[in-house]
A and B are shown apart, each in its own frame.
Chain A
Amino acid sequence: MGNCLKINSSDDISLLRGSESVHRQNSGPLPMFQNEQYQQIFFPSPSTSIGHAPIAGHSQLSEEDQVKIAKRIGLMQHLPIGTYDGSSKKSRECVICMAEFCVDEAVRYLPCMHIYHVKCIDDWLMRSLTCPSCLEPVDAALLTSYETT
């Protein structure tokens, strides 16, 4: 074991990248692609509630707001993501976009076990940490630990 890494050791850059990605995968509960999704969601969507002018970037948000957003993203990352398996017990339609779930599509599970498309529910959770269907707070325990620290 470990031979594969040694073979690549002549190329410093690839080794560096390899070790970095291994490190990231181990450090967080979520794979990298989800961070990219967040970028797509956060910068375009909060602008709708902020004002008419197009937002050049997040630099216009106050530091306090940025911390708030970061905390919320942190909280949301604790909500598990799975793939829709088409089982009959679950809802067939995402109530937010009203499109039917496709098998193997990424869905986020809330603690109440309601499921939504990741993109749909994340957009909502940035506004309100409640389940759209049952209005349950997403996770009171997690929430308090995040808000107070």
Chain B
Amino acid sequence: MSSLPRRIIKETQRLMQEPVPGINAIPDENNARYFHVIVTGPNDSPFEGGVFKLELFLPEDYPMSAPKVRFITKIYHPNIDRLGRICLDVLKDKWSPALQIRTILLSIQALLSAPNPDDPLANDVAELWKVNEAEAIRNAREWTQKYAVED
């Protein structure tokens, strides 16, 4: 494996030194391009109180291409499918090398506060979110309690 680019080393150091509130990203001890991520559910969202595990991988051509991020913890969200894949523009066509691990994780945190059922990835969830938002939010709360709250 080629040596780790200085940018990745710098980003990792800054993530450790100045962590983002509600976000924790730690590189794997065997692979510095793989991060174990924890995002806490934002206040005033149906995900409040939840602790969500994600995995983040920096591909070989990072930062020319976006990090790959996936929820490991099950989550009821119109833009996140049952495999944990995330529909987010900055992870796809709106990626820019000026973005960082930090900004991507902040965007994901913001997505939890502001679900967007008009650009769905989980179609059944998005559909319910549009026709009966109250029930969808109730489901999201239940799933948060069931899968994202440790006893």
Decide if A and B are genuine partners.
yes
Using a CB–CB distance below 8 Å, which chain A residues touch chain B? 45, 48-49, 95-99, 120, 123-124, 127-128, 130, 132-133, 135
13 A-B pairs (CB sep. < 8 Å): A48-B60, A48-B65, A96-B98, A98-B6, A98-B7, A99-B6, A123-B64, A124-B64, A128-B96, A132-B96, A132-B97, A133-B96, A133-B98
Given contacts A48-B61, A123-B64, A127-B64, contact A97 B7 (CB under 8 A): yes
* Chain A binding surface SS class: loop
Q: Is the CB of A98 within 8 A of B96?
A: no
Q: Which of A45, A48, A99, A124 contacts B97 (CB 8 A)?
A: A124
Closest 8 CB pairs of A and B: A132-B98, A48-B61, A132-B96, A98-B7, A95-B98, A96-B97, A133-B98, A132-B97
- SS class, residues of chain B in contact with chain A: loop
Q: Does B63 contact A (CB under 8 A)?
A: yes
Give every chain A residue within 8 A of B6 (Cβ-Cβ).
97-99
State the Cβ distance, A71 to closest chain B Cβ, in Å.
20
Are A95 and B97 in touch, CB under 8 angstroms? yes
Given contacts A97-B5, A98-B7, 7 further A-B pairs with CB under 8 A are A45-B64, A48-B60, A48-B65, A49-B61, A96-B63, A97-B7, A99-B7
